[in-house]
């Protein structure tokens, strides 16, 4: 696999939908080939004998312009003949795979079984989709997210899709993270003196970003990174834009606010992007030793995604200058 480390100046850590939106915005305000996106693999699982990587696929489909913009996942203009036929045969249909999307999973599974790494396959898929940015998994080793509930542990997709996020969450476990090897390209990029900024995308901190941070070497590299680390809040005015983020914060005993997100990342971030609706929280976050920038973080269209991305890069430059002056 060809390394992208030397050419990457911006590194983004991302989950699926929210992270993909910001990543798309970043490709419109910088040279796409200078952007490396590290995708969460905690959602990955085997289904129908196929290896599914939901967040990596959402990133690929979004950056290639092929995503279903209404759902936020899957492909636009998708057909569902496979699922309909499976249902008629009495098959399990709780996890939906579109007919065209199915090809991605079939080919990924075939190549994994032949010994290729998930990174190499993802890089090749991106090339075939016409994506100039680098998208890589945080690891080539499986590290599934396990959701802890009062009734017992649940595999991530059982919690998220089969159960519709209804069970009460008491915690998480990232199975095998201590033994798994983080992607060498990620660690090399974090140590690269040419790196200009690290962006923590507005993905769910617990379900999308923590599976990346679960690798001890990754968190340590973020703490020691010379480039400013900027996080974007996924919570606006006490609620999440999409998904169970707000509910999980509440169930785990944290306040449902952007301040709690900043606190979650406080050991390694330099700056925090806060939505303009949460301006009253600036002083609280400043007291953590974190610089704050206000922006419109509700990415309803491409213009807002682009403007937010520009704000992130401008803010990171100011944080870098401030760090140099200290």
**pLDDT, averaged across the chain:** 95
- Number of other CB atoms surrounding residue 92 within 10 Å: 10
How far apart CA 220 and CA 267 sit, in angstroms, is 10
Reply yes or no on whether the pLDDT at 1 is more than 80: no
- Number of other CB atoms surrounding residue 233 within 10 Å: 27
8 backbone dihedrals φ, ψ, rounded to 5°? -85, 125
| DSSP calls for 127-191 | HHHT--SEEEESBSS---EEEEETTEEEEHHIIIIISTT-SPP-EEEETTTTTSPBPHHHHHHHH
How far apart CA 226 and CA 259 sit, in angstroms, is 24
pLDDT digits (tens, 9 = 90+) for 201-241: 999 999 999 999 999 999 999 999 999 999 999 999 999 88
How far apart CA 310 and CA 316 sit, in angstroms, is 10
Confidence at 115, pLDDT banded by 50, 70, 90: very high
**Cα first-last separation, the chain:** 39
How far apart CA 196 and CA 193 sit, in angstroms, is 8
For the residues 88-117, what does the mean pLDDT come to?
Answer: 97
Residue 8 near residue 36, CB atoms below 8 Å? yes
131 Cβ contact partners less than 8 Å away, ≥ 6 residues apart: 32, 60, 63, 64
Confidence at 326, pLDDT banded by 50, 70, 90: low
3-class secondary structure, 53: coil
Residue 258 near residue 235, CB atoms below 8 Å? yes
Question: What is the dotted CATH code of the domain comprising 5-146+174-325?
Answer: 3.40.50.10680
pLDDT digits (tens, 9 = 90+) for 156-167: 999 999 999 999
What percentage of the chain carries pLDDT values higher than 90? Answer: 93
Residue 229 near residue 320, CB atoms below 8 Å? no
């Amino acid at each position: 696999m060809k390394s992208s480390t030397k050419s990457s100046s911006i590194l983004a850590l991302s989950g699926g939908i929210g992270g993909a939106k910001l990543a798309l915005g970043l490709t419109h305000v910088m040279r796409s080939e200078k952007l490396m996106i590290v995708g969460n693999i905690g959602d990955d699982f085997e289904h129908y004998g196929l290896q599914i990587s939901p967040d990596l696929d959402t990133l690929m489909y979004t950056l290639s312009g092929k995503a279903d913009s209404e759902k936020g996942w899957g492909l636009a203009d998708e057909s569902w003949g496979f699922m309909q036929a499976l249902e008629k045969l009495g098959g399990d249909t709780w996890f939906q795979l579109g007919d065209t999307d199915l090809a991605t999973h079939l080919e990924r599974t075939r190549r994994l079984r032949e010994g290729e790494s998930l990174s190499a396959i993802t890089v090749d898929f991106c090339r075939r989709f016409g994506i100039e940015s680098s998208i890589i998994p945080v690891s080539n080793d499986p590290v599934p997210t396990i959701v802890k509930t009062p009734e017992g542990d649940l595999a991530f997709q059982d919690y998220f899709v089969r159960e519709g996020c209804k069970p009460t969450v008491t915690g998480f476990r990232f199975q095998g993270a201590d033994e798994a090897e983080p992607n060498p390209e990620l660690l090399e990029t974090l140590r690269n003196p040419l790196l200009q900024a690290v962006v923590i995308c507005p993905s769910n901190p617990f379900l999308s970003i923590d599976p990346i941070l679960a690798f001890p070497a990754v968190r340590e590299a973020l703490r020691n990174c010379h480039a400013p680390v900027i996080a974007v809040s996924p919570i606006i005015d006490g609620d999440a834009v999409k998904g169970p983020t707000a509910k999980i914060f509440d169930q785990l005993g944290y306040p449902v606010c952007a301040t709690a997100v900043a606190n979650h990342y406080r050991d390694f971030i330099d700056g925090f992007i806060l939505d303009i609706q949460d301006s009253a929280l600036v002083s609280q976050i400043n007291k953590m030793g974190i610089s704050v920038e206000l922006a419109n973080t509700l990415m309803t269209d491409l213009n807002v995604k682009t403007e937010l991305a520009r704000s992130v890069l401008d803010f990171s430059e100011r944080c870098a200058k401030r760090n140099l002056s200290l």
